[in-house]
């Protein structure tokens, strides 16, 4: 299978995951959007030396992974390009921040460390803290997409008064990625049939192929837009629709409880040194 086909398959699998009939998927998208933004804000605001406190906040994505039955292996595989970039951001911290902030008991003495205590600089602590923050925020964003359809996310963005131009662009970009990849796949397959045994596309053919791709994409875009207009699209989302009817009051209460419980729990993990309290129990 070619890389383009794999990319199309990954996007389609992610879309099917978001459309599952599960409890997490059925939670109001505005609740999940609020929790994701709030969670990311709390993670980013953690002290750069509070490594354990930041690590404790992993409880939220772990919970969503388990309850939503989202594959952690697939998440790592799809984010394998983003995660290293996030981790590289703070790679120079150990060279600039040499302040000793803690000591680690090695459990044995050496010629270099006769007392068995290894000094750890603030640069290393802040580096690992920044790495954990990046991983947690990326996972939180991924889980929002994996448990919520793009239509529901855009609906939530309009409910919080994000300009409709931006929301429409987000939706159309997500929709057109698959179409664009499909057209690229057709063009490259046609080229390979006409140039058997050749690896890749010759440089002299790049211009004509890109031009052809642009024309085909514009034609498909016109067809998609006409289909959207026939289905009643008028440049904005219907944010007046009701998610909860008279028979769904229990669902409303459940979603509200979910938001309140997790908001409170995340705040507690932020304000209370839970990691130190747990650690003191074993000392």
pLDDT digits (tens, 9 = 90+) for 212-245: 888 888 888 788 888 878 877 776 666 566 665 5
Is the distance from CB of 39 to CB of 140 less than 8 angstroms?
yes
Residues of the chain with pLDDT > 90: what percent? 14
| Cβ atoms within 10 Å of 172's Cβ, excluding its own | 15
Is the distance from CB of 87 to CB of 131 less than 8 angstroms?
yes
73/118: higher pLDDT: 73
| Cβ atoms within 10 Å of 17's Cβ, excluding its own | 19
Give me the chain's average pLDDT, please: 80
Is the distance from CB of 14 to CB of 146 less than 8 angstroms?
yes
**Spatial CB neighbours of 91, under 8 Å, sequence gap ≥ 6:** 127
Q: How confident is the model over 154-167, as a mean pLDDT? A: 86
Give the Cα separation of 216 and 189 in Å (integer).
15
Residue 246: predicted pLDDT: 44
Which residues, in sequence order, are bridge partners of residue 118? 104
pLDDT digits (tens, 9 = 90+) for 76-128: 877 777 777 777 777 777 777 777 766 666 666 666 655 566 667 777 788 88
Is pLDDT of 160 > 60?
yes
Sequence-distant contacts of 4-9: CB under 8 A, at least 24 apart: 4/181, 4/184, 4/185, 4/188, 5/185, 7/181, 8/178, 8/181, 8/182, 8/185
Which residues, in sequence order, are bridge partners of residue 121? 100
Is the distance from CB of 16 to CB of 116 less than 8 angstroms?
no
pTM over 0.85: no
């Amino acid at each position: 299978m070619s890389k383009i086909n794999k990319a199309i398959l990954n996007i389609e699998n992610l879309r099917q995951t978001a459309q599952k009939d599960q409890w997490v998927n059925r939670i109001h998208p505005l609740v999940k959007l609020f929790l994701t933004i709030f969670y990311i804000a709390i993670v980013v605001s953690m002290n750069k030396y509070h490594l354990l406190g930041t690590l404790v906040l992993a409880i939220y994505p772990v919970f969503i992974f388990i309850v939503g039955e989202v594959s952690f292996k697939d998440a790592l595989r799809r984010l394998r390009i983003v995660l290293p970039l996030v981790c590289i951001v703070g790679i120079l911290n150990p060279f600039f921040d040499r302040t000793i902030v803690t000591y680690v008991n090695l459990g044995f003495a050496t010629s270099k460390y006769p007392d068995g205590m290894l000094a750890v600089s603030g640069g290393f602590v802040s580096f690992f803290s920044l790495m954990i923050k990046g991983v947690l925020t990326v996972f939180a964003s991924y889980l929002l997409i994996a448990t919520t359809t793009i239509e529901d996310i855009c609906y939530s963005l309009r409910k919080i008064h994000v300009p409709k131009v931006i929301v429409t662009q987000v939706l159309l970009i997500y929709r057109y990625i698959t179409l664009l990849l499909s057209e690229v796949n057709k063009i490259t397959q046609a080229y390979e049939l006409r140039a058997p045994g050749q690896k890749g596309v010759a440089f002299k053919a790049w211009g004509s192929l890109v031009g052809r791709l642009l024309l085909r994409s514009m034609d498909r875009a016109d067809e998609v837009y006409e289909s959207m207009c026939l289905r009643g699209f008028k440049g904005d989302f219907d944010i007046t629709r009701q998610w909860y009817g008279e028979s769904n009051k229990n669902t409303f209460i459940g979603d509200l409880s979910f938001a309140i419980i997790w908001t409170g729990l995340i705040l507690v993990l932020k304000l209370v040194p839970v990691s130190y309290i747990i650690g003191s129990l074993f000392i």
